[in-house]
Amino acid sequence: MKALVFDIYKGTTNDGPGMRDTVFLKGCPLRCLWCHNPEGIPFENRVWYERNVCIGCGECLKACENGALSFTPDGIYLDYSKCKSCMKCADACPTGALSPIAEAYTVEALAQEVLKDREYFFSSGGGVTVSGGEAMWQKDFVCSFFEIMKKNHIHTALDTTGFCKWEDLEAVIQYTDIVLYDLKVIDGELHKQWTGVDNQGILTNIRNLKKYIAAGKLRLWIRTPVIPGYTDREEIICEIAEFIRQQLSGCVERWELCAFNNSCVRKYEKLQLEWCMKREGILSQGKMNRLTELAKASRATEVICSGIMKEGKIL
């Protein structure tokens, strides 16, 4: 069994308790307008292109057998509709301007890599977090990986949108200590407009977690991305607060409001994609404080805000 891993962040402190390794699995069925990991959306592996590293030698064009590459005034153009992900162009590139986005790991190889860091997991109360993409769409791999982690006494966290079959989520949480669950917006129509999918199953799945939390078998943190022009509205925050208070009373340890930033714009450039949010700046400290205080006033659960923010008054 293998999965495509597009990144492993070591020593993170934002993806669960303590210091952690966060493993990012490729493939996501959502199309969030503000996605910070566009390279993680396609389920297949791909190459991406860094123009500043390219020397224009043309070796990649010689290696490509599918006509997916061409020279333009802006450097190499990749026609992903013709690309077969054979990686021959990346192999031929002498500078790494073309490189694979992800690497295939077996469960055992990934476990071996993560277990190198077990000492700082134990000393900090941390562990491993699996994210994406949407990790639940590779649930067999995640189950097997988490099972090995639990045998080695490693704390496990699942970072998920919740867009999956309940039986798949239920299988994974047998080996999961804490779930980091995205709640972007409660309104189903807005959710579909902004992410491309309905959220009825997402809301049902998080309700279904309650029995495991009540039994002391699972912990739950909620995350809400605060996106300018979308989820940064007071009514959005109030609706999520009411959902937590009414539907998940006593089950949520923490609700995190995650401030938007555009630091991922270079990823879109490497994928030769336009991004509708690229000109949006970071949110003000004032606005985040206002939304955080509004969330706290609901008394739904403990509330924190995170992310890079700029000083100043409410926008």
Specify whether the CB–CB gap between 209 and 220 falls below 8 A. Answer: yes
Q: Which class is domain 47-100?
A: alpha beta
| pLDDT at residue 258 is higher than 70 | yes
The helices-and-strands tally (H runs, E runs) of the chain is 12, 13
The tens digit of pLDDT for each residue in 136-181 reads 999 999 999 999 999 999 999 999 999 999 999 999 999 999 999 9
DSSP 40: G
Q: For residues 161 and 133, give the distance between their C-alpha atoms in angstroms, rounded to a whole number.
A: 9
Q: Please confirm whether the linkage preceding 281 is cis (ω < 30° from 0).
A: no
Specify whether the CB–CB gap between 103 and 95 falls below 8 A. Answer: no
Q: Which residues contact 85 (CB under 8 A, 6 or more apart)?
A: 44, 45, 46, 47
Q: For residues 175 and 195, give the distance between their C-alpha atoms in angstroms, rounded to a whole number.
A: 28
Q: Which residues contact 142 (CB under 8 A, 6 or more apart)?
A: 25, 130, 135, 136, 158, 172
* Listed residue (15, 10, 2) closest to 129, CA to CA: 15
| Per-residue pLDDT, 308 | 87
DSSP three-state, residue 99: strand
DSSP three-state, residue 160: strand
> What residue spans define the domains of the chain?
2-42+104-306, 47-100
Q: For residues 221 and 15, give the distance between their C-alpha atoms in angstroms, rounded to a whole number.
A: 10
For domain 2-42+104-306, the CATH superfamily is Aldolase class I (3.20.20.70)
The pTM for the full model equals 0.94
| Per-residue pLDDT, 313 | 39
What are the C-alpha distances in Å from 207 to residues 56, 170, 271? 54, 12, 37
Q: Give me the sign of the Cα torsion angle 42, 224, 127, 152.
A: negative
The tens digit of pLDDT for each residue in 109-133 reads 999 999 999 999 999 999 999 999 9
| pLDDT at residue 277 is higher than 50 | yes
The tens digit of pLDDT for each residue in 10-64 reads 999 999 999 999 999 999 999 999 999 999 999 999 999 999 999 999 999 999 9
